[in-house]
Chain A
Amino acid sequence: MRVKRATELQRKNRRWIALSLLPVLSFGQIPTGQAVIDSMVAIMSPENSKLIVKQTNHYDDGKSRTFVLEMYSTNKGDKMMIRYIKPTSVKGQTFLLLNDGDDIWTYFPRTRRVRKMASHAKKMKVQGGDFSFDDFSSEGSWKNEYITTNTGSIEKSGELCWVLKAIAKENADVDFPAVILYVRKDNYYPVRIEYMHEKGNPEKTLTLTDIQDVDGYPTALLITMENHLTGTKTVMETTEVSYSWLPPKGFFSERNLKK
């Protein structure tokens, strides 16, 4: 694991994160669910990011497949580019997601063709794993699509966590009617998210482990999504990460997809 650090940037980021946490730092009071969500979104949304991720899909029959991808984002995840490096069969396949994933372009290296896809393509699984493109979009849906309440604290994964219950608003465009989040009290970073289906049982569980400080942002280097209905599991292992990366001008453009 190579972690690029930028001390000045780290200090700047920490100041900004501290400011964003002010709403929940009312001593002696239990913060509201919305305040915790706001803080969580703030510390999970660095201005820019560049990651190399190993995606391993584990299937219910014991088989697995591994992919390696580069992920770039800017403007707190509003613009993203995902490019596959391995295996050879998908090498070079690239996705550009703009406007919070509402606009998607795909680049097919064998035909050197770029095509705009309708946003319903976000529902597609990323290379057959348990993540969809929607999962990579920014965290705005927590604020806009759910009403969140703080139900108290509990120890989870060895950390004291707030337990948040998020219920989808009426007519919300979301896949899950309810979500349970376990958010660390000390830095407002989530360690576990349970996506509930309509009967109230968890359908998918996201676990965030190996949390390290990168450029001032807590970052889970190991993210696991388990699908309890299918018995499958997808592990995203971050092998390189930098939040000090600055996108060159025009990086998040159709032109750059072809480069």
Chain B
Amino acid sequence: MKLPQRHGERREKNTNGNKKHKRHKNNSMSKTLKILCVSVPLWFVMLKAQMDFFGYAETEMDQIQLEDATYDFGYGKIRLEGEWRPWDNLLLAGNVNGQTYFGKTEWDLLDFVPYDSLWTPAGMRYSMPASISDTLYLDNLYTRLNFSKFDLTIGRQPISLGTGYAWNPLDVFNQKDLFDPTYEQPGVNAIRLEIPLNNRSSVDVIIADDDSLETGTKMIQLKTGVGRFDITINVAQRHHLFPYWRFMDMKITHTTSDFFGGSFVGQIGEFGLWSEAFWSMDELYGYREFVFGVDHTFDSGVYIMAEYFHNTLGATENELSIDNYIHTYSGESKSLMQNYIFTMMMFAFNDFISGSVMGFGNLDDNSFTIVPQIEWSILENTTVSVFVGQSFGGNNTEFGVQDRSVRLRMRSYF
């Protein structure tokens, strides 16, 4: 179950169904206001020209039930997107988001940690507070230039990499919510150069600016097609917080590591297959992430998929500590432990109502969550969704710590 996302924060790790928040240094309210002030004249010019406006309004109500507490919260959100194409080879695009919150807005993310089963120094109890307040912010604002030999995108832009559905080891820019893996990701400040080599091959260079270019994330992706498969080879450099719990006395908090990885997506027979792998090449702090998935659509239209995720940065059953939770919640690790599974079945009751059943679980501590979902297209541009999550597993397990969650969401496009 996700918590509302606050402006200036990127939604971070979520393997136990709870959204966490990582505040970025460069995303203060004042900076947003400055961006707005600078961009208002630009938007005015865009308004005067033929600009395409669209977006959606969304309301969400959530309830999480733990063993000893129940939390109610929610938000109302409006997302106004604009696209302006003064020439065929130039796109100016952006969106403004306004979000108001209700219910519980003060959180301690470690409320979702089973302290009793974890070792902490001298039995200390940690705190990881998160306060959520109403926001108005620019999520994306970017320029895209299409030249004959390459495309260049500059600014805060949506970036989504990888072939996985629930996990994307290659996507070092985003974290997904297992409860809702396809929800839009926040924009990334980046320069992206895409060079097509032929119809199925391209080179993709991404330089993301976190605090400075020096500490930003850089990635080069070579993509090509071989038969029924799309294949990528990726190299990256990332300045990141490394879980110091492995080197407690060294007080190492950040390191710059080189990464190597790749992905494929295609099919064998009637089954779709995909995989991603990403290795840290750092001799001291090396780790590996790997995902493999398979899907199929039956003649009746019923769609099924399954995905397995392995992450050596996660803890093994015997070494799980509070630090693992902190690093997972802060987004430094894509999972708390090492082995996970995600499954889904989708089907249409009729042309207006569709259903799906998701199931995801931690294979190391044997805790799972089943999430049936109904989506009803109540009007041409309005959908209503209901999610109900039921967890299974011991109270000291990742998903078992939460009993049940319920979400009601209504979204109207305009």
A116 cross-chain contacts in B, Cβ below 8 A = 163, 230, 265-266
Q: Within 8 Å of chain B (Cβ to Cβ): is A91?
A: yes
Contact call A115/B380, Cβ cutoff below 8 A = no
A255 x B158 contact (CB < 8 A): no
Q: Does A125 contact B (CB under 8 A)?
A: yes
Q: Are A250 and B184 in contact (CB under 8 A)?
A: no
User: Does A254 lie within 8 Å of B266, measured CB to CB?
Assistant: no
B247 at the interface (CB under 8 A from A): no
Indicate if the CB atoms of B184 and A110 lie closer than 8 Å. yes
A89 touches B383 (CB 8 A): yes
List the B side residues contacting A103 at CB < 8 Å. 228
Kindly state the separation between the CA atoms of A258 and B159 in the bound complex, as whole angstroms.
12
Complex CA gap A123/B297 in Å reads 7
With beta carbons under 8 angstroms apart, the residue of B160, B228, B230, B273 that contacts A113 is B160
Q: Which residues of A contact B266 (CB under 8 A)?
A: 116, 118
The minimal Cβ–Cβ distance linking B101 to chain A, given in whole angstroms, is 22
Asked whether A253 and B199 contact (CB < 8 A) given A89-B380, A115-B265, the answer is: yes
Tell me if B146 and A123 are in contact (CB < 8 A): no
Return the chain A residue nearest B159 by Cβ: A112
Q: B184 — nearest CB in chain A belongs to which residue?
A: A110
Q: Is A88's CB within 8 Å of the partner chain B?
A: yes
Tell me the complex Cα distance, A89–B265, Å.
27
**Cβ–Cβ contact A111 & B272, under 8 A:** no
- Cβ of A59: which chain B residues have Cβ within 8 Å of it? 350-352
Interface mask (B291-312 → A, CB under 8 Å = 1, otherwise 0): 0000111110101000000000
Interchain CB contact (< 8 A) of B54 among A88, A113, A232, A259: A88
Closest 6 CB pairs of A and B: A118-B272, A128-B351, A118-B267, A88-B413, A113-B160, A89-B413
The contact string, 1 if C-beta is below 8 Å from chain B, for chain A 116-158, is 1111110111001100000000000000000000000000000
Query: What is the chain A residue whose CB lies nearest that of B266?
Result: A116
Q: Among residues 245 to 259 in chain A, which have CB atoms less than 8 Å away from a CB atom of chain B?
A: 250, 252-255, 258-259
Nearest CB on B from A24, distance (A): 34
Chain A positions within 8 Å of B296 at CB level: 118, 120
Decide if A88 touches B414 in the complex (CB within 8 Å). Answer: yes
Decide yes or no whether B381 CB sits under 8 A from chain A: yes
By a beta-carbon cutoff of 8 Å, the part of chain A in contact with chain B is: 57, 59, 63, 65-66, 87-89, 91, 102-103, 110-113, 115-121, 123-125, 128-129, 175, 232, 250, 252-255, 258-259
In-complex Cβ contact of B202 among A87, A115, A254, A259 (8 A): A254
Kindly provide the distance from the CB of B15 to the nearest chain A CB, expressed in whole angstroms: 21
* Cβ < 8 Å to A, chain B residues 234-293: 265-267, 270-273
**A–B pairs, 30, beta carbons within 8 Å:** A59-B350, A59-B352, A65-B351, A65-B377, A87-B380, A89-B413, A111-B160, A111-B182, A111-B185, A112-B158, A118-B270, A118-B271, A118-B297, A120-B267, A120-B272, A120-B297, A123-B297, A123-B301, A124-B297, A125-B351, A128-B348, A129-B351, A232-B351, A253-B199, A253-B200, A254-B199, A255-B151, A255-B194, A255-B196, A258-B151
Count contacts between A and B, CB distance < 8 Å: 93
Chain B residues with CB under 8 A of A128: 348, 351-352
Docked complex Cα distance between A250 and B149 (Å): 11
The answer on a CB contact under 8 Å between A255 and B272 is no
| New A-B contacts (4) at CB < 8 Å, excluding given A111-B158, A120-B270 | A59-B350, A59-B351, A89-B383, A118-B295
- Give the shortest distance, in Å, between B236 (CB) and chain A (any CB): 18
Closest B residue to A130 by CB, please name it.
B351
A123 to B182, CA, bound (A): 22
> Which residue of chain B lies nearest to A105 when distances are taken between CB atoms in the complex?
B230
Minimal Cβ-Cβ distance residue in B for A110: B184
Q: Which residue of A lies closest to B271 (CB)?
A: A118
B301, A125: Cβ atoms under 8 Å?
Answer: yes
Complex-state Cα separation, A87 to B228, whole angstroms: 32
CA distance A188 to B270 in the complex (A): 35
Chain A residues with CB below 8 A from B414, complex form: 88
